[in-house]
């Protein structure tokens, strides 16, 4: 009797251990199949990333965001907080997007003080082209331009964080940019400089071991950094669950992805502009007053001395703490109609020094250059020696 009881107990324990082991083997598959589209990406052993930086970028461009021929129509909704250039809160609300293809989509910006919508019914214009419809709370052009920039930031960082047109670009691994052993960083190089060592860097991208984009730092035309976390896998693609955008060191946007789903789950969607808002849209898109039109021409180029005579605010570049790097940095810049630098590109010089110069130049201000009494953009080149 005791032997029989012992054998039965042993048999039950063996069966129990077998079921537990089977559950452990099957659990990842079951979890993957049952996961909702907005569930965070699971940690799983990933294949080794390509050893060539360009191959890594091409692979990352395919899996990060919602690009590619395999993407089915989708719908997403996110909450956001937007800040001004000084990092002060300006607006918060929700962003929603319905996408079929590049010729059929619509986006909604619903803030606490303002709202807007973008419709694209087909690739033609004006019949169903890209249209911005303001809300009733803030219907001025300056606000609409700012909303447009915020919508573009959300749209780009969530949907298309990496360009697929990378064939002509040059890339190199940048291990010094990684903040952990689990990160792989790649630099996108700009125009070749005098020496291979001093080739300027346009952008730096960092990925985790699965190829998910964690951080992108764009140095041209202005210093912008995007940080992604809590990755979400959807239909074989990777999206950030949480996103932070920083401009010149200040947080200008934070986004949390609330939902991502196939468009079929969202029901019937109309992509045409509502007729009751068409008149409002037309009134809004018309300029408030007739302004003098400056004929199209090449930008006027000033010498460095001429540009310096127009400087009203100057910030000297500062070397990173503890740095003793020396060299000469050359930057080509565009001074906008308001007297602020709107575009800058490093031409030559060490990367570390170029970053310091770039951050300083973005704070410079100038007396606008006038053409027949109208402010216009001008180009110039600045040289700094350390």
In the chain, domain spans: 53-285, 300-385
Residue with tokens 């005098």: 194
Fold for domain 300-385? TolA/TonB C-terminal domain (3.30.2420)
Categorise residue 340: left if φ over 0, alpha if ψ from -120 to 50, beta otherwise: beta
Is 300-385 the same fold as 53-285? no
Rounded-to-integer distance, Cα 118 and Cα 128, Å: 10
pLDDT at residue 79, rounded to an integer: 97
Q: With b meaning 16 or more CB within 10 Å and e meaning fewer, what string describes 209-222? A: bbbbbbbbbbbbbb
pLDDT at residue 168, rounded to an integer: 56
Residue segments in the chain with a per-residue pLDDT below the cut of 50: 1-46, 124-139, 191-199, 279-297
Taking the complete model, does pTM exceed 0.85, yes or no? no
What is 53-285's CATH superfamily? Lipoprotein localisation LolA/LolB/LppX (2.50.20.10)
Cβ neighbours of residue 81 under 8 Å, at least 6 residues apart? 89, 91, 92, 253, 254
Rounded-to-integer distance, Cα 149 and Cα 141, Å: 12
pLDDT at residue 304, rounded to an integer: 92
pLDDT at residue 343, rounded to an integer: 77
pLDDT at residue 341, rounded to an integer: 87
């Amino acid at each position: 009797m005791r032997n029989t009881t012992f054998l039965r107990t042993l048999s039950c324990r063996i069966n129990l251990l077998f079921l537990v082991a089977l559950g452990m083997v099957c659990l990842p598959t079951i979890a993957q199949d049952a996961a909702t589209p907005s569930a965070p990406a699971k940690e799983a052993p990933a294949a080794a990333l390509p050893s060539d930086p360009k191959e890594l970028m091409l692979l990352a461009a395919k899996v990060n965001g919602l690009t590619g021929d395999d993407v089915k129509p989708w719908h997403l909704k996110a909450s956001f907080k937007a800040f001004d250039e000084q990092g002060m809160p300006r607006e918060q609300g929700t962003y929603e997007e319905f996408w079929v293809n590049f010729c059929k989509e619509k986006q909604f910006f619903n803030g606490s003080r303002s709202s807007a919508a973008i419709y694209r019914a087909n690739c033609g214009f004006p019949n169903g082209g890209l249209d911005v419809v303001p809300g009733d709370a803030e219907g001025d052009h300056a606000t609409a331009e700012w909303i447009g920039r915020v919508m573009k930031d959300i749209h780009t960082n969530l949907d298309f964080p990496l360009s697929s047109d990378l064939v002509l670009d040059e890339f190199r691994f940048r291990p010094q940019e990684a903040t952990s052993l689990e990160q792989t960083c790649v630099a996108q190089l700009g125009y070749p400089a005098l020496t291979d060592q001093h080739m300027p860097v346009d952008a730096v991208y960092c990925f985790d071991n699965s190829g998910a984009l964690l951080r992108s730092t764009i140095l041209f035309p202005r210093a912008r950094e995007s940080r992604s976390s809590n990755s979400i896998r959807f239909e074989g693609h990777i999206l950030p669950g949480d996103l932070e955008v920083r401009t010149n060191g200040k947080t200008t946007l934070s986004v949390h992805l609330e939902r991502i789903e196939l468009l079929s789950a969202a029901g019937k969607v109309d992509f045409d502009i509502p007729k009751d808002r068409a008149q409002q849209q037309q009134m809004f898109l018309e300029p408030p007053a007739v302004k003098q039109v400056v004929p199209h021409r090449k930008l006027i180029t000033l010498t460095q001395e001429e540009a310096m005579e127009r400087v009203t605010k100057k910030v000297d570049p500062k070397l990173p703490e503890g740095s003793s790097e020396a060299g000469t940095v050359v930057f080509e810049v565009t001074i906008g109609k308001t007297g602020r630098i709107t575009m800058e590109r490093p031409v030559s010089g060490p990367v570390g020094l170029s970053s310091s110069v770039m951050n300083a130049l973005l704070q410079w201000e100038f007396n606008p250059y006038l053409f027949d009494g109208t402010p216009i953009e001008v180009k110039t080149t600045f040289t700094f020696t350390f």
